[in-house]
Amino acid sequence: MILFTNWRYAGKKTKKTLLSSLKIRSKVKVSDRYNGVLGWFAESMPVAETELSYRDPFQLIVAVILSAQCTDKRVNMITPALFERFPDAQSMASATQEEIFDLIRSCSYPNNKAKHLRGMAEMIVTRFGGVVPSERDELTQLPGVGRKTANVILSVVWNNPVIAVDTHVFRVASRIGLTPGARTPLQAELRLTRHIPEEQRPLAHHWLLLHGRYICTARKPACSRCGIARWCAYYQKETGLKA
């Protein structure tokens, strides 16, 4: 778990250079936008990690399933008691859906999530010998685990060069102008994968997600504190400036 603090100091530096950097008027190419955005993130946030608390791959899957349409803060309030009672796949597979529900009732859609958690744990035990699979095709067989969740596990646990596209990543990538024309998370994932170097893909998910959570918020993006404003299609449109 990481405390997301670097964005706050980066915002102060940004104010000093933003006006001068926005004086350039030539139209930005998509490749230049990627280079600028990724370069800024790599310098300003070289370490970016999930804010979900977990100790092993199984606990991460549980936390990611719980995080669907629920804040990481809320999930981190739920999981300590849940993991104390059911720390691994074997113990959770032996639980009843009602027992799991009682421990996660404060998250969104607790009935469905309790069903998915029990089914996921049971399949890990019966089909995969109690070990969380490391292939996307196998991960997506687990109840409650779609492509996005599978990509999170692959990138966070095994550092595979994949990009998980959740709500934040889909929205922010589109707003910045990294995924023009992408109408689905899969289309956005393929666009991002095409342009982002393999070694940066696991980090890119966290960069975009955390940027959307703390700076580029859905209702009121903090453009004045944004270090990538000079490359952002949304900012250019709103201000009439071209990077």
pLDDT of 17-74, one tens digit each? 444 444 443 467 889 999 999 999 999 999 999 999 999 999 999 999 999 999 999 9
pLDDT tops 80 at residue 12: no
The mean pLDDT value for 179-201 works out to 96
Q: Which residue has the higher pLDDT, 1 or 128?
A: 128
pTM listed for this prediction: 0.84
Specify the CATH class of 6-48+163-239 in words. Answer: mainly alpha
How confident is the model at residue 28, as a pLDDT? 75
Q: Cite the active site residues.
A: 148, 166
How confident is the model at residue 9, as a pLDDT? 38
Matching CATH number, 57-158, of 1.10.760.10, 3.90.1150.10, 1.10.340.30, 1.10.10.1200: 1.10.340.30
Written in H, E and C, the secondary structure of the chain is CCCCCHHHHHHHHHHHHHHHHCCCCCCCCHHHHHHHHHHHHHHHCCCCCCCCCCCCHHHHHHHHHHCCCCCHHHHHHHHHHHHHHCCCHHHHHCCCHHHHHHHHCCCCCHHHHHHHHHHHHHHHHHHHCCCCCCCHHHHCCCCCCCHHHHHHHHHHHHCCCCCCCCHHHHHHHHHHCCCCCCCCHHHHHHHHHHHCCHHHHHHHHHHHHHHHHHCCCCCCCCHHHCCCHHHCHHHHHHHCCCC
Q: What is the mean pLDDT of the chain?
A: 89
Amino acid code (one letter) for 140: T
pLDDT of 107-148, one tens digit each? 999 999 999 999 999 999 999 999 999 999 999 999 999 999
The pLDDT confidence band at residue 1, using thresholds 50, 70 and 90, is very low
Q: Domain residues of the chain, as ranges?
A: 6-48+163-239, 57-158
The mean pLDDT value for 219-232 works out to 94
The pLDDT confidence band at residue 242, using thresholds 50, 70 and 90, is low
Q: Which residue has the higher pLDDT, 102 or 167?
A: 102
Q: Do the domains spanning 6-48+163-239 and 57-158 agree at the CATH topology level? A: no
pLDDT of 88-98, one tens digit each? 999 999 999 99
How confident is the model at residue 220, as a pLDDT? 92
